[in-house]
């Protein structure tokens, strides 16, 4: 058994981590920590986890987090970097952005703070020109979990770039996210009355901080720089991401070539599924599962490939991805403790 701590246990990502870890046969749950919520019982913040209802949340510091095999950090950006270097755990997995970007200039531009560095990037299914990303995660000690949008968008587009089926410019992504993607802390524009029954764009004009992360992943797949126009939107649902991705198709490439590339990339993956022809991804179908579901089409009239991907932002987009990475880091079966079926209707 591996003793596991969760920092940020009162938040959305922390709650989803604990839901998954409670069902993991090789995990013993250790310290649960937060900031202002320290001293509360977990039931006040995570009412869906009765097995941990009476556990008292502790403050987040290196002493409380010492003596664990694995520490998950589900903290706001910036908080992980400060803490990470003081942790003694064999494996530390950061759900935040602090260690995702390789390029410190892009970090400065989009986050406006000093770059903390980069850790192994935790998207095992990502095809890169240098081989599968999974190889870098087996036995890794420090792992950066991707952002939720980059997870969906990179899984959607990477095989097309890895097989050189699309052009590296004029890639356009519009993605919708549920409101839990913004975290639990109070934000006036995310009150129920602002979001119920209404969709809205944000981070428009190439300003969203996930843009360089998506470009980093697609450039790794293509083996050359890729630029992306990314527009996120907020949808009136608590969970889920639906990413619609389009790119100019390379000369002579058919829809059969595109389908074959995705079958080849994901045919043996447990969590990433190309749907049968005629079926399209929905966020409802992946709710609570660690799945990413995809469909591809070619719009021959405009010469563009269209790829749609759905994930649950809190599962494959954060906590499920984090547990998948823990399994790889510890040498456990990659799928251990992770749901491969959703909840419907």
Ligand X SMILES: NC(=O)C1=CN([C@@H]2O[C@H](COP(=O)(O)OP(=O)(O)OC[C@H]3O[C@@H](n4cnc5c(N)ncnc54)[C@H](OP(=O)(O)O)[C@@H]3O)[C@@H](O)[C@H]2O)C=CC1
Binding site for ligand X2W (CB under 6 A): 96-97, 147-148, 177, 181-182, 232, 234
CB of 248 within 8 A of CB of 302? no
Mask 102-141, x = binds ligand X (CB under 6 A)? ----------------------------------------
Shortest distance in whole angstroms from residue 269 CB to ligand X:
20
Active site residue 245: no
Q: Which residue is nearest to ligand X2W (CB)?
A: 181
- As measured in angstroms, the least distance from the Cβ of 179 to ligand X2W is 6
Stretch near ligand X under the rule CB under 6 A, chosen from 10-18, 21-29, 153-161, 258-266? 10-18
From the list 298, 221, 310, the residue with the least C-alpha distance to 258 is 298
- If one asks whether residue 143 binds ligand X (CB under 6 A), the answer comes out as no
Segments of the chain assigned E as strands:
2-7, 27-34, 58-59, 70-73, 91-94, 120-121, 127-128, 131-132, 142-144, 171-177, 200-201, 228-234, 241-248, 272-274, 292-299, 304-311
Q: Which does 168 bind (CB under 5 to 8 A by kind): ligand X2W, ligand X, none?
A: none
Using DSSP bridges, classify how beta strands 142-144 and 91-94 pair: parallel, antiparallel or unpaired.
Answer: parallel
CA-closest candidate to residue 95, choices 211, 6, 204, 28: 6
Task: Count other C-beta atoms under 10 Å from residue 302's C-beta.
Answer: 10
Spatial separation of the C-alpha atoms in residues 255 and 253, rounded to whole Å: 7
Contact assessment for residue 321 and residue 123, using Cβ atoms and an 8 Å cutoff: yes
Point out which span in 8-16, 46-54, 291-299, 327-335 binds ligand X (CB under 6 A): 8-16
Confirm or reject binding of residue 60 to ligand X (CB under 6 A): yes
Q: Which of 148, 153, 245, 309 is catalytic?
A: 148
Of the candidates 152, 141, 143, 281, the residue with the CA atom closest to the CA atom of residue 217: 152
Q: Return the residues of window 309-328 that contact ligand X according to CB under 6 A.
A: 313-314, 317-318
Specify the residue, 16 or 334, whose C-beta has the smaller distance to ligand X: 16
Number of C-alpha atoms within 13 angstroms, CB side, residue 227?
A: 3
Smallest gap from Cβ 321 to ligand X, in A, equals 8
Complex with ligand X: residue 232 or 281, whichever CB lies closer:
232
Residue with tokens 């095992």: 124
Residue nearest to ligand X (CB): 11
Q: Which is nearer to ligand X, 45 or 304 (CB)?
A: 45
Residue 125 or 163 with smaller CB distance to ligand X: 125
- 3-class DSSP assignment, residue 320: helix
Q: How far is the CB of 210 from ligand X (least distance, A)?
A: 10
Does 338 interact with ligand X (rule: CB under 6 A)? no
CB of 145 to ligand X2W, least distance (A): 8
Give the interface with ligand X as residue ranges (CB under 6 A). Answer: 8-14, 34-37, 60, 74-77, 79, 95-97, 147-148, 180-181, 183-185, 313-314, 317-318
């Amino acid at each position: 058994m591996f003793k596991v701590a969760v920092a940020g246990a009162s938040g959305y990502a922390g709650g989803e981590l604990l839901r998954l870890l409670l069902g993991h046969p090789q995990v013993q749950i250790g310290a649960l920590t937060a900031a202002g919520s320290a001293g509360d019982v977990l039931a006040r913040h995570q009412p869906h986890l009765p097995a941990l209802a009476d556990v008292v949340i502790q403050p987040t510091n290196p002493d409380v987090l010492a003596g664990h095999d694995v520490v998950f950090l589900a903290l706001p950006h910036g908080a992980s970097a400060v803490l990470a270097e003081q942790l003694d755990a064999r494996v530390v997995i950061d759900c935040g952005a602090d260690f995702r970007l390789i390029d410190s200039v892009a970090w400065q531009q989009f986050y406006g703070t000093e770059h903390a560095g980069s850790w192994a990037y935790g998207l095992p299914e990502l095809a890169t020109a240098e081989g599968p990303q999974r190889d870098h995660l087996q036995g890794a000690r420090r792992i950066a979990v991707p952002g939720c949008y980059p997870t969906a968008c990179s899984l959607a587009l990477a095989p097309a770039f890895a097989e050189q089926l699309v052009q590296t410019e004029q890639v356009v992504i519009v993605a919708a996210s549920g409101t839990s993607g913004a975290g639990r802390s109070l934000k006036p524009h995310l009150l129920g009355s602002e979001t119920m029954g209404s969709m809205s764009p944000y981070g428009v004009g190439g300003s969203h901080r996930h843009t360089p992360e998506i470009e980093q992943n697609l450039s790794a797949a293509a083996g050359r720089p890729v630029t992306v126009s990314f527009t996120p939107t907020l949808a009136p649902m608590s969970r889920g991401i639906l990413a619609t991705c389009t790119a100019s198709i390379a000369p002579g490439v058919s829809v059969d070539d595109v389908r074959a590339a995705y079958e080849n990339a994901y045919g043996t993956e447990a969590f990433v599924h190309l749907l049968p022809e005629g079926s399209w991804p929905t966020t409802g179908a992946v709710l609570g599962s660690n799945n990413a579901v995809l469909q591809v089409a070619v719009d021959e009239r405009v010469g563009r490939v269209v790829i749609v991907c759905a994930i649950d932002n809190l599962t494959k987009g954060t906590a499920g991805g984090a547990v998948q990475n823990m399994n790889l880091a510890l040498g456990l079966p990659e799928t251990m403790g992770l749901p491969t079926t959703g909840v419907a209707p």
